[in-house]
Amino acid sequence: MMQTANSMKKRWWKILAILLIGYTITAGLLADVPRLPILNETIRVLHFHVPMWFGMFMLLATSVVYSVKYLRKPTQQNDLFASEFANTGILFGILGVTSGSLWAKFAWGTFWTSDPKLNGAAIALLIYFAYLILRGSFDDEQRRARISAIYNIFAFATLVPLLFILPRMTDSLHPGNGGNPGFNSYDMDSNLRMVFYPAVIGWTLLGVWLTSLRIRLNIIKQHTDERFEENLLRTRNHAMADDH
């Protein structure tokens, strides 16, 4: 009884994530949406496209926090957290670009246009693909952890002006153009907002959940690897003892 209560306490956010995403999918597809020219029913993608960017930015920011933590206290765990949060952030980024590209096809008539937000998103993905390649090009684990942490912090800091300052200076097809990197509070009516805000929280929680699963998987893999090596060593020692 105590155990279930304890695990409930730990798992409430996962249940919340499921509930919020369930609500997002049903309400997002069924609830009333404002009838706007051009956008029409495609406005429903809002609940699946925009939260990806919120999620991506929060996950990448968390990844940077763990990179800073790694430089202050180099533990394997901090490195693992930084890399897995970045991985999920990249997944969200890819989903955001794909959903946005589909939406653009129906709303603006093309899959890709030269819009500061589209280009910013593409560059953000390029930076984090480079991060993955950098991680792959080391043999030594500590070296990899330290140098990719440094690149992560460095790249994130240059990403911030790209995503939050440059879009303010140019016109954009996105709402809230020329002055606002996100959107203005009066861009959405209250019906949309009722679904949109829960959607942001739900998708972000799902991202954290995915990350925690990958982290646990990695830790299990490390343990099995270690056990495998121990067994190998033990059988070899036995064999050598038998020889003597």
Partner 1 sequence: MLWKEIMLLLRKEVVLEWRQRYALNGILLYVVSAVFVCYLSFNLQSGRLQVVTWNALFWIIMLFAAVNAVAKSFVQERAGRAIYYYTVASPQGIILSKIIYNTLLLLLLATICLLVYIVVMGNPIQNGGLFALNLLLGAAGFSVTLTMVSSIASKANNHSSLMAILGFPVIIPILLMVIKVSKNALDGLALSVSYDEMIILVAINAIVIALSYILFPYLWRT
- The b/e string for 181-207 (b: 16+ C-beta within 10 A; e otherwise) is beeeeeebeeebeebbebbbbbbbbbb
- Piece in contact with partner 1 (CB under 8 A), picked from 120-128, 178-186, 219-227, 236-244: 120-128
69 forms part of the interface with partner 1 (CB under 8 A): no
Name which of 139 and 243 has its Cβ closer to partner 1: 139
CA trace torsion 29, 30, 32, 33 (10° rounding): 10
One of 23, 112, 151, 197 touching partner 1 (CB under 8 A): 151
Tell me which of 71, 94, 173, 194 binds partner 1, using CB under 8 A: 71
Q: Whole-angstrom Cα distance, residue 43 to residue 30?
A: 12
Which member of 25, 166, 173, 210 binds partner 1 (CB under 8 A)? 166
Three-state DSSP class for 35? Answer: coil
Regarding 82 and contact with partner 1 (CB under 8 A), the answer is no
Among the listed ranges 75-83, 130-138, 221-229, 236-244, the one in contact with partner 1 (CB under 8 A) is 130-138
Degrees, nearest 5: CA angle 67-70-71? 95
Where does the chain show beta strands of DSSP type E?
Answer: none
Residue 192's H or E segment, with its range, is helix 190-243
Q: Which region holds residue 176: left if phi is over 0, alpha if psi is between -120 and 50, else beta?
A: left
Structure tokens at 128: 């984090």
CB of 117 to partner 1, least distance (A): 14
Q: Is 94 in the site for partner 1 (CB under 8 A)?
A: no
Q: How far is the CB of 99 from partner 1 (least distance, A)?
A: 22
Among 141, 154, 187, 217, binds partner 1 (CB under 8 A): 154
Whole-number Å distance between alpha carbons of 95 and 193:
21
Smaller CB separation from partner 1, 17 or 145 = 145
Q: Is 65 in the site for partner 1 (CB under 8 A)?
A: no
**Residues lying near partner 1 in the complex (CB under 8 A):** 71, 123, 126-127, 130, 133-134, 137-139, 143, 146-147, 149-151, 153-155, 157-158, 161-162, 165-166, 169
